[in-house]
Amino acid sequence: MKVQSALLLLLLFTLASVSLVSGENLTVLNNSTIVNQTEAVVVYELSPQENLMNHAFMAREFALENEKNVVLAEFSNPSGRFSLDGVVITAYDNNGILLADSTGSGNVGSRYIRDDHDSGEIRLMRDLAAIGGGLYVDSATGKNWFVSDIDGSWWICAGISQIS
């Protein structure tokens, strides 16, 4: 008798668990909340400074992956991939000599740092590049440049083209 009771109890327990798993439990099926499942896509607009930074990072990556003469030719190309949306890349060596500029290739080879006491923009940007780079803001004009070192011997800056 005890064995029959135990088997009957085991059979009932098995049927109860099978009905839960098989989906016969309507409380599980009806336990849903109706909500709008589509989430709004948030599009963030980048600031001009963030655009400069992104442009400089792409140019730096290109410079590190390619030969210097190929890189400088691309940076000097007015219709190249780094002259987009009014943002251009210029390149200088650590003496302040312009290596590449898509807005005025006639100035390539010109020196823009007179001496160690020069306090001009190019010297200040070079010093910023030497410590890792970053955003340079001219306090007099409010213009922004993003500066980045390439390999310790030359550096780049991304800026807004002055050509209309």
Ranking 12-26, 46-60, 124-138 by mean pLDDT, the lowest is 12-26
Q: What is the pTM of this model?
A: 0.70
Q: Could you tell me which residue, 85 or 63, shows the higher pLDDT?
A: 63
Q: Residue 84: beta bridge partners?
A: 87
Taking residues 13-29, report their average pLDDT: 56
Quote the pLDDT of residue 62.
97
Residue 14 carries which side chain, given as an amino acid letter? T
Mean per-residue pLDDT of the chain: 82
Tens-place pLDDT, residues 125-135: 999 999 999 99
Quote the pLDDT of residue 22.
52
Taking residues 149-154, report their average pLDDT: 95
Going from N- to C-terminal start, the domains of the chain cover 48-160
Taking residues 7-22, report their average pLDDT: 60
- CATH fit for domain 48-160, picks 3.30.450.20, 3.40.50.150, 2.30.30.180, 3.20.20.70: 3.30.450.20
Closest CA relative to residue 158, chosen from 94, 75, 93, 96: 75
- 52: which 2 tokens? 């400069």
Decide if 98 contacts 112 (C-beta within 8 A): yes
Q: Read off the DSSP letter of residue 22.
A: T
